[in-house]
Copies of this chain bind each other. A is one copy, B any other.
């Protein structure tokens, strides 16, 4: 049939396309790929011919994604993640002492986590658990590309799309204020009151791409930074109640009953067949 080429898309082509789609510049993309620009242009053309689809609009001054191109960008990233995951998980499966990698947000749920690790270690057939601390929103990617086997997430902050999960624990949120703040002794506050505190802005967390949303609050990367800012009287923050372990004398906390509850979930890639992950999940749900 027309254009009946061998339809096999190779990961190399997907990597090339992702580089170009992210840079929107053939020269820089080629540089990033450690190759020259002409073969890159040719490879993209070949990919377009093979798919029968225009992926990029080129003007001599700029490169832009077409509708189909942005679909491929998203899909190609997922596909490349899956290939990388295959590689990593295979290597790990062949390792002397396989072990299991657990990803969790740095500084969160240390209480739950240590209980889980202790309980799992006591299980028969337990393997070594490597704990991987990471920033907010990173966990999903880690699970998807095989760098982690299982993760602790916090709904509704983290997205659990595409993962299997089991709820572990639900808790209310509290607002953390500097110790001397006028509202620090209130028995509770409402969301409306918290968001309209003009003297203490809520912080801005990085999005998945590492950039910060627009706004006026201070930019924070982890809870240590956050709590320091609060102690200095430069911010306040809405956090799950269990973070009280991280607080010091310089902090006060006030419950916010109408803030959305936070659920800690244990998550793993959907087709995981690892005994260790299954045991870990079972242990966690029994805590």
Contact = CB atoms under 8 A, between A and B. Distances in A.
Contacts of A87: 7, 9, 51
Interface string A33-74: 000000000000000000111110000000000111101101
Contact of A75 (B7, B72, B86): B86
A248 to B, nearest CB: 39
Interface of A: 7-12, 14-15, 51-55, 66-69, 71-72, 74-76, 78-79, 81-83, 85-87, 89-91, 93-94, 146, 161-164, 269-271, 273
Contact of A71 (B71, B81, B93, B163): B93
A141 to B, nearest CB: 12
Best-buried of A52, A53, A79, A161 by chain B (most CB within 10 Å): A79
Overall SS of chain A's interface: helix
Contacts of A51: 87, 90-91, 94
Given A12-B8, A161-B270, A86 B76 contact: yes
27 contacts: A9-B83, A53-B90, A53-B93, A53-B94, A54-B94, A66-B94, A68-B94, A71-B93, A72-B86, A72-B89, A72-B93, A74-B271, A75-B82, A75-B90, A76-B86, A78-B271, A79-B83, A79-B85, A79-B86, A83-B83, A161-B164, A161-B271, A162-B163, A162-B164, A162-B269, A162-B271, A163-B270
